[in-house]
Amino acid sequence: MALASVFGALYGLAAYLPGLAWLRTLPCVALACAAMLWITARWHKALPLLRGIALMLAATFLMGGTVYAISQALGGGLLYWRLGAAAAVCLAVALGRSAQRARLARTKMRVCLGEACAELDGLIDSGNLLCDAISGLPVVIAPHSAVRGLLPQDCDPTRLETLPPGFRLVRAVSTGGSRTLMCFRPGSICLREAGGWREVHAMVAIAPQALPEGELALIPARIAT
């Protein structure tokens, strides 16, 4: 989505450069929009895709509008367009970091599988859009150390051939790349709230190594609201 937004912003900037007015014609704009949607659609399903499109267009309008406003305020010209573009990028980075901090809230989660239960510390993460293709359920990403007590002794998340019966594989994509993770559906899964525990429906994927957030599970925001 970020890549598509950057592409759209650069396209909008290029369309107002001398000699490139043809980029503002309807066929070219339609092709650019199709390219942005294709970039986004490679990693998203239907509902997340629509949400991603809205955010992508909002980011593109923000960057393009900032570039245009700054360049006009400074008197126009290619140099001022470049200064405006640099300011827009800095603004987008600052807003992105602010949103990253705001989107995360800590909570506790209790996961039970068979007779065993584990209580996990987690983060409500709006960036976790992972969904199980078979059940359609959202997927919590938990570090191996947090759910080790729920797994059979011979289960090793780093070796997919040790996948236990009843478990399946899910493909997780992030900014750092993609990876296939073991995934299971707990007997019950509950989130800690002010009034106590609330049962939710989700799958749990096992991250073999520690997550960037440490020993915290990444909980999709859609099951926390």
Structural domains in the chain? Answer: 2-102 (no CATH), 105-223 (2.40.70)
Could you list the pLDDT tens digit for every one of the 225 residues in the chain?
Answer: 566 667 777 777 777 777 787 887 877 877 877 777 676 665 544 455 566 666 766 776 776 676 667 666 766 566 655 665 666 666 666 666 555 544 458 889 999 999 999 999 998 888 888 999 889 999 999 999 899 999 999 999 999 999 999 999 999 887 667 889 999 999 999 998 877 899 999 999 999 877 766 678 899 988 887
Predicted confidence at residue 193, as pLDDT, reads 85
Q: What's the pLDDT at 46? A: 47
Look-up of token digits 């909002």: 58
- Report the pLDDT value the prediction gives residue 202, as an integer from 0 to 100: 94
Q: What is the pLDDT at residue 118?
A: 93
pTM over 0.85: no
